[in-house]
Amino acid sequence: MRVRITIDGGTATATLDGNQTPGAFAALLPLKLTLSDYGSVEKIGCLPRRLAIDDAPSGFSLSTGDIAFYAP
């Protein structure tokens, strides 16, 4: 599934992985988040509810531009 992301008037597209967590995220759309800076390295924002993570991978290597869901 592809989604469009708008930040400060600019747009980008993203492709969601094929497991339960991205599907749960897609069910929240459309969604407006307030992002804050975290360590001058990444932007973070809180979702309105928890996402299912049952079949999500335990981790993966991020690259610049990736959007990830962190479940502590």
Domain positions in the chain are: 2-44
- Alpha-carbon distance of 39 to 20, in angstroms, equals 29
- pLDDT at residue number 4: 93
| Total-model pTM | 0.76
For residue 1, CA distances in Å to 17, 44, 63 come to 8, 22, 20
Instruction: Work out the burial of residue 67: count CB atoms within 10 Å of its CB; fewer than 13 is exposed, 13-18 middle, 19 or more buried.
Output: middle
- pLDDT at residue number 28: 93
Low-confidence ranges of the chain (pLDDT < 50): none
DSSP letters for 2-37: EEEEEETTEEEEEE--SSHHHHHHHTT-S-----EE
Token pair 């479940």 is at which residue? 71
